[in-house]
Amino acid sequence: MAYTTLLVEIQDFIAVVTLNRPPMNSINLAMREDLDSAFNALEKDEQVRVIVLTGAGEKGFCAGMDVGDVANLAKGPDAIELFNRIDRFPKPVIAALNGFTLGGGCELALACHFRFMLDGPRSRIGCPEVNLGITPGWGGIQRMARLLGRPRALELILFSKRLTPAEALEIGLVERVFPEGGLMSGTMEFARDLAKRAPLAVSSILQGMTAGIEKGIEEGLKTDRVCSARLTQTEDAREGFMAFMQKREPVFKGK
C-alpha cells in the first residue's frame, strides 16, 4: 500500500514505519489517515510481528501537530483514538526516537510499548504545550502520569521541560539510549529478538497487561486466564514444549 506521509518496509517479521515529512515530521490530516491505514494493515499481516516507528531526516522523530493544518484537526481519524489504538496494539510497537520528540510527537512515543532514543545534540523529549497556553491534547497528560507518576509528570508538563536522552533515561521516560549511528541497529537487534518470541503469547501478554492497567487487576487477571487457556491448545505451545525437551531453540509460527 502506498502512503503519502509514511514509508513502510517489512522484512524478517519486522515492519519499519517512518514518519516521512522532514524536517519536522509534524502530524497533519494526511499523516493521521496514513497511520490509521498502516496500523490496520499491519495488524492483519501475519508476516509482521513487531513494528518499529521512527522519523525521516536527520533532525528528529516528530515535532507534534502541524500548526499549519489546524483547520483539519477535526477531520479524519481522531488523534486520541489513533494513539489509543497504538497503545492497545496486539503487536509490540517500538519508537526509535531519532532526535527531537516534542508535543504530539512525545504523545505518539508515549503510546508505543518501548521508547529508544538517539543520544544526539538535537535529541530532546517532552510536552512543552503549556508554553503556548494549551495542554497536551493527545493523551500525553494521562500516559506521562501513568509512566512516571503524578508529581514527576506534572513537573515535566507544567514547566514544559525538554529532557536530554540521559535525563529521559534516568527517570524512565525512555528505556534505552544509543550513540550516534547506533539507534536503528540497536533497535533492530532488539526487534529481531522480539520477533522470535511466540507471537500469540506476546499478543496475549500485551492484551492482559493493557486490561490490567486500564480496568484494574481483576479484569487483567480475567484476561490472562482466558488467554492462558487458549494458548495451551496452539501449535506454538506444542513447539515450545517440544523444543524445551529437545534442548533446541523453538521456531514459532503464530498458530
Per-residue pLDDT band for 240 (boundaries 50, 70, 90) equals: confident
Per-residue pLDDT band for 112 (boundaries 50, 70, 90) equals: very high
Question: Quick one: pLDDT at residue 30?
Answer: 97
Assess whether 171 and 205 both reside in one domain.
Answer: no
Assess whether 236 and 185 both reside in one domain.
Answer: no
Assess whether 135 and 231 both reside in one domain.
Answer: no
188-213: average pLDDT: 96
161 inside domain? yes
Is 129 among the catalytic positions?
yes
12 inside domain? yes
1 inside domain? no
Question: Quick one: pLDDT at residue 1?
Answer: 72
Which of 87-91, 154-158, 208-212, 245-249 has the lowest average pLDDT? 245-249
For the chain, the average pLDDT equals 95
Q: Which of 178, 195, 212 is the last residue of a domain?
A: 195
Is residue 185 over pLDDT 90?
yes
CB atoms within 10 A of CB 89: 19
Is residue 64 over pLDDT 90?
yes
Q: Which of 33, 43, 81, 107 is catalytic?
A: 107
Q: What is the CATH number of the domain that holds 123?
A: 3.90.226.10
Summarised one tens digit per residue, pLDDT across range 148-182 is: 999 999 999 999 999 999 999 999 999 999 999 99
32-51: average pLDDT: 97
29 inside domain? yes
Q: Is 88 within 8 Å of 139 (Cβ atoms)?
A: no
Assess whether 60 and 151 both reside in one domain.
Answer: yes
Summarised one tens digit per residue, pLDDT across range 77-102 is: 999 999 999 999 999 999 999 999 99
What are the backbone angles phi and psi of residue 101, rounded to the nearest 5°? -140, 90
Assess whether 208 and 239 both reside in one domain.
Answer: yes
Q: How many domains does the chain fold into?
A: 2
Is residue 27 over pLDDT 80?
yes
142 inside domain? yes
14 inside domain? yes
Amino acid at 148: L
The bridge status of strand 100-102 relative to strand 125-126 is: parallel
Question: Quick one: pLDDT at residue 248?
Answer: 85
Assess whether 131 and 237 both reside in one domain.
Answer: no
Lookup: cell for 7: 514509508
251 inside domain? no
Question: Quick one: pLDDT at residue 253?
Answer: 87
Strands (E), 156-218: 176-178
Question: Quick one: pLDDT at residue 241?
Answer: 85
Assess whether 172 and 211 both reside in one domain.
Answer: no
Assess whether 38 and 141 both reside in one domain.
Answer: yes
Lookup: cell for 229: 487457556
Assess whether 178 and 204 both reside in one domain.
Answer: no
Question: Quick one: pLDDT at residue 239?
Answer: 78
Assess whether 183 and 150 both reside in one domain.
Answer: yes
Q: Which of 195, 222, 238 is the last residue of a domain?
A: 195
255 inside domain? no
Q: Which domain holds residue 102?
A: 6-195
Assess whether 146 and 88 both reside in one domain.
Answer: yes
Nearest residue to 145 (alpha-carbon basis) of 171, 167, 176: 171
Assess whether 162 and 206 both reside in one domain.
Answer: no
Question: Quick one: pLDDT at residue 102?
Answer: 98
Is 58 among the catalytic positions?
no
Per-residue pLDDT band for 58 (boundaries 50, 70, 90) equals: confident
Which of 52-56, 103-107, 125-129, 235-239 has the lowest average pLDDT? 235-239
- Residue partners of 214: CB distance under 8 A and separation at least 6: none
Q: Which of 129, 214, 218, 219 is catalytic?
A: 129
